[in-house]
Structure 1
Amino acid sequence: MRKYTVNAFSKIPGGGNPAGVVLHADLLKESEMQQMAEELNFSETAFIMASENALCKIRYFTPVEEVRLCGHATIASIGLMKHLKLISDGIHQIETAAGLLTVLVHPDKIMLEMDEPNFFESMDRHLISDSLGIEVDSLLEHPSPQIVSTGLKDLIVGVKSLEILRTLRPDFKKITDISSKADMAGYHVYSYGADGSVYMRNFAPLLGIQEESATGTASGALAVYLYKYGKLPKSSETTRTFFQGMFMERPSEIEILLRDDGINTKVFVGGGVSDINSLD
């Protein structure tokens, strides 16, 4: 067993979202993985083990519970394996609780296929704005706040300006209660820059994460949400870069790839890694 920290969705040292990565975790009990994740105290820690059906199997733990999938911890894991020359560039599959997922390993980035998009209920605008400490008319009128999943269920919420996004005053108790009742991970709040770029903040206190600097699964959910409601152009292949972590002084760039064959839409999220450090 070997422990590392890796920053995912980062192009510069100190940017991105740090994850714990544990190699050769096959002999660890679930309780030991949970304890280790709590001790490392990252938003997620990935545990890599052997798989009969894929490159590897990865399990993901927040400080308080196991989750089905984590985008940034996967990018960190595959980036670490590439750094250690355990894998080469190309197309690989990984085994997760969300199923077998495809990973595209490029010279400068890793792209992870997310789970099949699923759309759930819309949420009351007054309830959501109150929990974010803003007026209801600060929310974008369309699309409405809605729960979407590409691996984990997140509430996608649009606000009208970057200044509103920057000055949110989240009530973490209210967000925790709403997230628990709706059986979702948390809120993924977005707005647009002057050039139309997408900027995001993520709050998941139910999972022990007050705010996260880069969130792959929620970014995938946001991408398919914007695509579904015509906020991204319809095409057989659409690429974008989303931005997160700028208000936490951990700038993150999350690359999005949408593939639409006219029947199904697949979403990939990815980016680079930095700050690889051994904890042993």
Structure 2
Amino acid sequence: MGAPVVLYPGSGGFTMTRSLTLYQVDAFAERAFQGNQACIIPLEAFLPDDVMLAIAAENNVAETAYIVRTGDSRWNLRWFTPAVEVPLCGHATLAAAHVLFAHEGFTGDAIAFDTVKSGCLTVQRRDDGRLAMDFPSAPVSEIEVSDEVAAALGARPVQAWGGIFYAARFETPADVQALAPDLKALKLLGAPGEGWDRGNFGCFAAGGEGVDVTSRFFAPGSGIDEDPATGSWHTMLARIMSERYGLDAITCLQAYPGRGGRIDAALRGDRVSLIGRAVTTVEGRFYL
């Protein structure tokens, strides 16, 4: 993807500035203002890490994803929150595939994304227009709920698991929707052996309006107070729902206040299929 040099009026006259194509996408959304926002920037080669992190901080959405083409249907992919690079991000992967299909001229049916820590992730375009992502699903193990976690969440879960995140089960969807955690306290806590930085908590309950499970995801440890729609969380949630409830295919609502996202998940051994839609809301240029 080209990054032309342009003339841009600065305070001291005209300065030489680099211009990058940028798309902003609502992922796991049927229309604008739903799901989770991601910025997608196609590149010819990755920029220095500090520059990519600075751009993500400037964009100030949950994730900014950078993609670099390496073959006919293959790209390298990296994800940054406004604070850190993360090893896996579902909604920005969905958004990146949507951009390639809808805006960047890719006419194939499937895309392969090579990532630094999560291996190869594939995204396939379905006949109904939805995108199906193939992701790893790591093992989970049940853990005790500590008093510190209960206090930070503001309510005591009835059950908890450790994995790539801390997963906390509550009795009802209403309990999940009523949560108002102490984010400063939550940022310092996590599950034993958690794969990511501490302070990443998925909270869920079985059931909900027209869905199998309702959840929310708090991520102060990743620089995000609450994430609106989190694909990586659903790789863990799919495994828990399979092991506890015997449901290998689930329809999920991530009940972020005012937005929310719907994600279909199907567990297949050590992999999970995450299915959803995405909508472009902004197309423009980012000037460095």
Partner of 1:154: 165
Aligned CA distance change for structure 1 residues 228 and 279 (closer, same or farther; 3 Å): same
Q: Which of 210, 217, 226 lines up with 2:232 in the alignment? A: 217
Q: Distance in 1 between matches of 2:241 and 2:88?
A: 21
Partner of 1:241: 251
Partner of 2:15: none
| Residues 38, 95 of structure 2: 8 Å contact kept | yes
- Listed as ranges, the matches of 1:1-280 within 5 Å are 1-24=20-43, 26-51=45-70, 55-97=74-116, 98-107=118-127, 108-120=129-141, 122-134=143-155, 136=156, 139-140=157-158, 144-148=159-163, 153-179=164-190, 183=194, 184-185=196-197, 186-191=200-205, 192-193=207-208, 197-229=212-244, 231-233=245-247, 238-245=248-255, 247-259=256-268, 264-280=269-285
Tell which structure's C-alpha radius of gyration is larger: 2
Which 10-residue stretch deviates more, 161-170 or 119-128? 119-128
| Residues 73, 108 of structure 2: 8 Å contact kept | no
Q: CA deviation at 1:91?
A: 3.0
Aligned CA distance change for structure 1 residues 10 and 63 (closer, same or farther; 3 Å): same
Q: Distance in 1 between matches of 2:140 and 2:191?
A: 18
Q: How many residues align?
A: 260
Aligned CA distance change for structure 1 residues 160 and 90 (closer, same or farther; 3 Å): same
Q: Distance in 1 between matches of 2:219 and 2:31?
A: 25
* Aligned partner of residue 145 in structure 1, secondary structure: strand
Aligned CA distance change for structure 1 residues 204 and 11 (closer, same or farther; 3 Å): same
Q: Distance in 1 between matches of 2:64 and 2:273?
A: 21
Q: CA deviation at 1:35?
A: 0.5
Aligned CA distance change for structure 1 residues 146 and 54 (closer, same or farther; 3 Å): farther
Which of the two has greater helix per residue?
Answer: 1
| Residues 176, 204 of structure 1: 8 Å contact kept | yes
* Aligned partner of residue 187 in structure 2, secondary structure: helix
Could you tell me which amino acid in structure 2 is paired with residue 244 of structure 1?
Q
CA deviations 1:105-155 (Å, max 9, x no partner) are 224111111124222562424332211111x3xx33xxx31122xxxx111
Aligned CA distance change for structure 1 residues 54 and 85 (closer, same or farther; 3 Å): closer
Q: Distance in 1 between matches of 2:215 and 2:265?
A: 14
TM-score if structure 2 supplies the norm length? 0.83
Structure 1 vs Structure 2 CA RMSD = 2.2
| Residues 137, 236 of structure 2: 8 Å contact kept | no
Unaligned segments of structure 2, at least 5 residues: 1-19
TM-score if structure 1 supplies the norm length? 0.85
Q: Distance in 2 between matches of 1:89 and 1:242?
A: 28
| Residues 253, 271 of structure 1: 8 Å contact kept | yes
Aligned CA distance change for structure 1 residues 224 and 181 (closer, same or farther; 3 Å): closer
CA deviations 1:136-185 (Å, max 9, x no partner) are 3xx33xxx31122xxxx111111111221121120111211003985435
Q: Distance in 2 between matches of 1:27 and 1:161?
A: 44
Q: CA deviation at 1:101?
A: 1.8
Q: Distance in 2 between matches of 1:159 and 1:2?
A: 43
Q: Distance in 2 between matches of 1:180 and 1:28?
A: 33
Unaligned segments of structure 1, at least 5 residues: none
Aligned CA distance change for structure 1 residues 196 and 256 (closer, same or farther; 3 Å): closer
| Residues 216, 270 of structure 1: 8 Å contact kept | no
* Aligned partner of residue 279 in structure 1, secondary structure: strand
